[in-house]
């Protein structure tokens, strides 16, 4: 699949009408994804002079792009009538009820029985924290995310990229499509309850296993909680990020470093021994790296198929060959000036994502909104009925995924009712080896693959290829996140897959895209963070710093989930499948866009205060408590003192504290499920919350099964 094969822009959601009111960034992110997939978005904004310089309004041009601006004053009767009619006529309304809603809250509530309302808040509608209007950094602190970011000998660090707002916006967009499917099937109109906190807890999948394995997960800088070597290393002229997740790349790395003896050294030969001797491993790699330039090191490592990448600054993105190739950084007219905006995330055979050609002038969508209201009023709206199977019941999904990205997408498809068949190679998914384990099975593997049927298939064999072809014929969706070209080398490129099943939705998610300037370059989450400017944006004391959580992995999975659901909705109308090419680097750059034009204050880190029992995060970087030493005060007392002077603050919770917090319990974010082996396994609850739909955290995945006659009959394939 190449970009030259695309025709126009994707119109997956053509005919879907969205009203965007809330001021949270997550609201804008959700609406922007829906707009890119072809929906019409009415961007309701207050009159000039009433816009606050926070939330999405701090980057109005970025978040208004691709939408129709409707300026409306909630105190003006005519404006209230127009917005009321818009809300009544629309399919979906986006709000953020815990922060300023410009006076539209009561009006939106009037239409909750006929219009899908998606509410984005810090903590959701339930639990002891409900209603607290915390921003991204404070929720990072409460959810345990901040505790994972930073160096082992330093304080926790909150990410400057609004990660949880973006994550919640993406999950919200998928929840909306699930609600639309349910409405189409039964007439039921859902209200959706999205919380940044829920997304934060779901982001901790790589850290939670250590807790359940009896350890206390903490900050590890640029290293990985379960793999080594995995770190930022200083070359002679810059920084290089290197990732090794299993034994084969370690062997290849040892050969590149001209130290083959380390490949068989008992201290380093296996993953668990490398983890026990991680400091020594890092020293070995750093000694080699320091003798080379960034260009030399990355060239040698890539030639050996070792995942790596230079750590770029955000401003370097415009010169990155792959971002240029994929048209991910554009200059778009904004009045007399031009603004830098991200390009289309969706690259697909039937059209790339819809992106704006200019920033809308305020209120230029007013006439269009009035015409829309008039046309819908004539057509009428469907009434509400009850009922509710999960919306993806009857949908078959194939997954050839490893580690996090595609497995996360398909796990959520399973919670929405899809049958997910995970296809593993004869030796199994490499993530099965990640520590810690429960009865020999990796905890993170089980957390990432709940609700799936796992089968073993050798795609290099004739029998494996025949079975895979039969599975493709029977499937609705196929998702994979292998290195580009891997499936094609087994005889299944995008054209062959489309020939086998023209109605199939095939989604490939990779580090740099299938259509890439970095052909077949291996990539992991941290490499992508490095090559998208995220690590430089979050630098601490001059050292680039990754997010503790695997931000690009799970955001790649979330964006993949959304576009697959959008393609599925389009197929229901058109009967057409599609082939999607998603790049984690594209997604990471999209997430940094709010910082491209930000001033120094916006890019400054949030203030973190050390207390007697941990740390407290302050909302924003402004001085707090007049530089008073609070190391002898508890977090509770410091938060109370700050609250008295009007400064919002939150304790930086450890993962153990987050798991014990009543908010986590109230939102059912951690659940224990019994596997076929009788063991209890910790699984994450869905961040998508609905009025009546209940995403199902289904059975625990077990060991992969061979496709024998009994399994063929179960899967209903072949003769």
- How crowded is residue 327: how many other Cβ atoms within 10 Å of its Cβ? 15
Q: Which CATH number is associated with domain 245-305?
A: 3.30.1540.10
Q: Is 158 exposed, middle or buried (0-12, 13-18, 19+ CB in 10 A)?
A: buried
Q: Half-sphere exposure of 290 toward its Cβ, with a 13 Å CA cutoff?
A: 6
CATH architecture of 396-591+695-715: 3-Layer(aba) Sandwich (3.40)
> Can you tell me the distance from the alpha carbon of 686 to that of 411, in angstroms, rounded to the nearest whole number?
10
DSSP tag of 345: S
Cα–chain center distance at 146:
17
CA distances 41 to 28, 29, 87, 94, 372, Å, are 10, 12, 12, 10, 11
Question: Where along the chain do its domains lie?
Answer: 13-206+350-383, 245-305, 396-591+695-715
> C-alpha dihedral over 471, 476, 478, 479, to 10 degrees?
-140
- What is the β-pairing status of strands 92-95 and 68-71? unpaired
- The dihedral built from the CA positions of residue 271, 273, 276 and 282, taken in this order, carries a sign that is negative
Could you tell me the two tokens for 497?
């897959």
Q: Which of 247, 212, 206, 200 is nearest to 224 (CA)?
A: 206
pLDDT (0 to 100) of residue 110 = 83
DSSP tag of 452: E
Task: Give alpha helix (H) positions in 188-270.
Answer: 196-202, 208-212, 247-256, 261-264
39-67 burial, b for 16+ CB within 10 Å, e for fewer? bbbbbbbbbeeebeeebbbbbbbbbbbbb
pLDDT tens digits, one per residue of 468-505: 999 999 999 999 999 899 999 999 999 999 999 999 99
Cα–chain center distance at 392:
21
Could you tell me the two tokens for 341?
């905006």
> Can you tell me the distance from the alpha carbon of 62 to that of 358, in angstroms, rounded to the nearest whole number?
10
- Directed axis angle between helix 163-186 and helix 25-36, to 10°? 50
pLDDT tens digits, one per residue of 442-473: 999 999 999 999 999 999 999 999 999 999 99
pLDDT (0 to 100) of residue 627 = 57
Cα–chain center distance at 548:
14
State phi, psi for 458 to the nearest 5 degrees.
-100, 100
**3-state DSSP of 87-145:** HHHCCEEEECCCCCCCCCHHHHHCCCCCCEEEEEECCCCCCCCCCCCCCHHHHHHHCCH
State phi, psi for 420 to the nearest 5 degrees.
-115, 125
The answer to whether the beta carbons of residues 665 and 658 sit under 8 Å apart is no
CA distances 596 to 313, 315, 603, 654, Å, are 11, 8, 10, 31
The answer to whether the beta carbons of residues 224 and 243 sit under 8 Å apart is yes
Could you tell me the two tokens for 448?
């990432």
pLDDT (0 to 100) of residue 277 = 97
Q: Which of 321, 352, 694, 289 is nearest to 531 (CA)?
A: 321
Q: Which CATH number is associated with domain 13-206+350-383?
A: 3.40.50.10540
Peptide bond into 436 cis (omega under 30): yes
Please indicate whether the domains covering 13-206+350-383 and 396-591+695-715 agree at the CATH topology level.
yes
DSSP tag of 307: E
- Directed axis angle between helix 294-303 and helix 247-256, to 10°? 130
> Can you tell me the distance from the alpha carbon of 96 to that of 105, in angstroms, rounded to the nearest whole number?
9
- What is the β-pairing status of strands 452-456 and 419-424? parallel
pLDDT (0 to 100) of residue 101 = 65
Low-confidence ranges of the chain (pLDDT < 50): 1-6, 378, 380-387, 626
């Amino acid at each position: 699949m190449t970009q030259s094969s695309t025709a126009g822009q994707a119109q997956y959601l053509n005919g879907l009408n969205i009203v965007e009111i809330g001021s949270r960034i997550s609201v804008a992110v959700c609406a922007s994804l829906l707009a890119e997939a072809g929906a019409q978005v009415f961007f309701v904004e207050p009159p000039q002079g009433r816009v606050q310089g926070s939330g999405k309004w701090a980057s109005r041009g970025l978040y208004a792009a691709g939408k129709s601006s409707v300026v409306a004053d909630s105190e003006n009767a005519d404006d209230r009538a127009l917005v009321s009619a818009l809300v009544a006529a629309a399919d979906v309304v986006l709000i953020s009820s815990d922060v300023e809603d410009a006076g539209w809250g009561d009006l939106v509530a009037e239409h909750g029985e006929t219009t899908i309302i998606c509410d984005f808040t810090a903590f959701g509608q339930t639990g002891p924290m409900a209603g607290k209007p915390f921003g991204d950094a404070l929720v990072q602190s409460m959810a345990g995310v901040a505790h994972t970011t930073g160096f082992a000998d330093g304080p926790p660090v909150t990410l400057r990229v609004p990660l949880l707002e973006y994550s919640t916006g993406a999950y919200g967009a998928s929840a909306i499509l699930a609600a639309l499917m349910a409405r189409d099937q039964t007439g039921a109109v859902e209200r959706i309850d999205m919380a940044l906190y829920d997304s934060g807890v779901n982001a901790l999948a790589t850290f939670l296993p250590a807790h359940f394995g009896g350890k206390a997960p903490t900050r590890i800088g640029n290293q990985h909680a379960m793999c080594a070597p995995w770190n930022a290393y200083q070359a002679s002229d810059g920084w290089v990020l290197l990732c090794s997740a299993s034994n084969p790349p370690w062997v290849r790395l040892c050969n590149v470093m001209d130290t083959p003896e380390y490949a068989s050294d008992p201290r380093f030969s296996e993953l668990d021994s490398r983890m026990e001797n991680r400091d020594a491993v890092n020293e070995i790699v750093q000694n080699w790296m320091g003798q080379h330039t960034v260009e030399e090191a990355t060239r040698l490592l890539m030639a050996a198929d070792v995942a790596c990448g230079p750590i770029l600054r955000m401003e370097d993105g415009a010169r990155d060959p792959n971002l240029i190739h994929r048209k991910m950084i554009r200059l778009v007219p904004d009045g007399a000036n031009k603004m830098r905006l991200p390009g289309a995330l969706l690259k697909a055979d039937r059209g790339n994502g819809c992106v704006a050609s200019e920033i809308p002038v305020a209120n230029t969508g007013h006439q269009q909104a009035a015409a829309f209201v008039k046309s819908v009023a004539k057509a009428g709206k469907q009434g509400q009925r009850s009922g509710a199977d999960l919306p993806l019941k009857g949908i078959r999904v194939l997954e050839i995924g490893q580690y996090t990205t595609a497995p996360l997408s398909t796990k959520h498809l399973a919670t929405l009712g899809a049958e997910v068949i995970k296809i593993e190679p004869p030796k199994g998914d490499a993530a099965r080896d990640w520590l810690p384990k429960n009865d020999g099975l990796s905890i993170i593997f089980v957390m990432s693959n709940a609700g799936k049927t796992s089968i073993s298939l050798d795609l290099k064999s004739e029998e494996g290829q025949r079975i895979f072809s039969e599975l493709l014929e029977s499937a609705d969706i196929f998702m994979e996140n292998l290195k580009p070209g891997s499936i094609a080398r087994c005889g299944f490129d995008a054209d062959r897959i489309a020939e086998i099943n023209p109605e199939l939705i095939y989604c490939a998610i990779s580090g740099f895209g299938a259509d890439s300037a970095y052909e077949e370059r291996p990539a992991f989450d941290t490499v992508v963070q490095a090559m998208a400017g995220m690590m430089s944006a979050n630098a601490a004391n001059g050292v680039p710093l990754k997010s503790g959580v695997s931000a690009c992995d799970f955001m790649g999975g979330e964006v993949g989930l959304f576009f697959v659901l959008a393609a599925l909705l389009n197929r229901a109308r058109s009967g057409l499948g599609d082939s999607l090419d998603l790049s984690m680097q594209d997604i990471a750059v999209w997430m940094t866009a709010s910082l491209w034009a930000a001033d120094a204050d916006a890019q400054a880190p949030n203030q973190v205060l050390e207390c007697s029992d941990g740390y407290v995060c302050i909302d924003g970087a402004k001085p707090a408590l007049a530089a008073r030493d609070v190391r002898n005060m508890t977090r509770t007392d410091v938060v109370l003192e700050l609250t008295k002077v009007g400064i919002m603050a939150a304790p930086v919770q450890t993962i153990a504290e987050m798991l014990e917090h009543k908010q986590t319990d109230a939102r059912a974010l951690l659940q224990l499920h019994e596997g076929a082996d009788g063991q209890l396994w910790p699984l994450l609850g869905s961040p998508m919350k609905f009025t009546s739909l209940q995403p199902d955290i289904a059975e625990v995945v077990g060991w992969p099964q061979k496709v024998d006659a009994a399994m063929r009959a179960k899967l209903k394939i072949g003769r």
